[in-house]
């Protein structure tokens, strides 16, 4: 029984982790016609993170054979990084019998605390430069650390994950 609960929990956790990464694209677009790109903008909480986002996306696109040009690329790239605090409520029960009406008896006290977990989200949009139409979007959300070096690694992992199946194949 405990083994089944453990396996079920791991599967649920894995599903939650996968749900943090999403990509979508215009299925009518032939990505084979794009060979160069220019930046529209990269925004984040500060210029350090804007520069890191730009550098990681440049590396991912160049690894896919795309060439960065100062202006007039076949595609235009925009990226936005943001952070927020996700709040989790934790309630602890004290007192006789293990808590409030624990097993039908007891008059314990409940204490609720709020835990703030920093979460970072990266959104990358790629547009057709000629039509200005959005052709690809990638979004990844990850829990952040108090350690900036770990967050730099998480950003690189996010960009690599987003561009793993880029450009989309013509079959979909």
Please report whether residue 15 resides in a domain: no
Beta-sheet pairing, 75-94 with 36-43: parallel
Task: Tell me how many domains the chain contains.
Answer: 1
**Least confident span in 55-59, 73-77, 110-114:** 110-114
Q: Which of 19 and 57 is assigned the larger pLDDT?
A: 57
Query: Is the pLDDT reported for residue 13 higher than 50?
Result: no
| CA 98 remoteness from chain centre | 39
Q: Cα separation of 121 and 144, whole Å?
A: 10
Query: Is pLDDT larger for residue 44 or for residue 74?
Result: 74
Q: Is 97 a domain residue?
A: no
In a domain, 34, yes or no: yes
Of 121, 120, 132, 128, residue with least CA distance to 167: 128
Please check whether residue 25 lies inside any domain of the structure. Answer: yes
Residue 41 inside a domain? The answer is yes
Q: Cα–Cα distance between 77 and 37 in angstroms, integer?
A: 7
When mean pLDDT is compared over 79-88, 94-103, 123-132, 148-157, the highest value belongs to: 123-132
pLDDT of res. 96: 52
What rounded mean pLDDT belongs to the chain? 80
Q: Do the domain assignments include residue 67? A: yes
d(CA 51, CA 75): 20
pLDDT tens-digit map of 18-45:
448 899 999 999 999 999 999 999 998 8
Q: Which residue has the tokens 């547009």?
A: 127
Residue 117: per-residue pLDDT: 64
The CATH number of the domain holding residue 140 is 3.30.160.670
Residue 151 within a domain: yes
Asked whether residue 110 is domain-assigned, the answer is no
- Quick one: pLDDT at residue 161? 94
Q: Residue 141: which domain range?
A: 21-88+119-162
């Amino acid at each position: 029984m405990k083994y089944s609960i453990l396996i079920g929990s791991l599967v649920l956790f894995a599903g939650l982790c996968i749900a943090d990464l999403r990509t979508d694209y215009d299925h009518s677009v032939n990505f084979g016609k794009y060979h160069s790109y220019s930046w529209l903008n990269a925004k984040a909480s500060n210029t350090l993170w804007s520069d890191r986002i730009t550098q990681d996306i440049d590396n991912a696109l160049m690894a896919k054979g795309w060439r960065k040009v100062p202006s007039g690329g076949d595609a235009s790239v925009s990226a936005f990084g943001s952070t927020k605090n996700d709040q989790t409520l934790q309630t602890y029960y004290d007192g006789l019998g293990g808590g409030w009406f624990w097993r039908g008896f007891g008059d314990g006290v409940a204490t609720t605390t709020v835990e703030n977990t920093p979460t970072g989200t990266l959104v990358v949009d790629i547009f057709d430069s000629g039509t200005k139409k959005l052709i690809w979007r990638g979004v990844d959300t990850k829990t952040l650390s108090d350690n900036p070096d770990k967050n730099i690694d998480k950003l690189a992992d996010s960009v690599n994950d987003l561009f793993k199946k880029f450009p989309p194949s013509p079959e979909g």
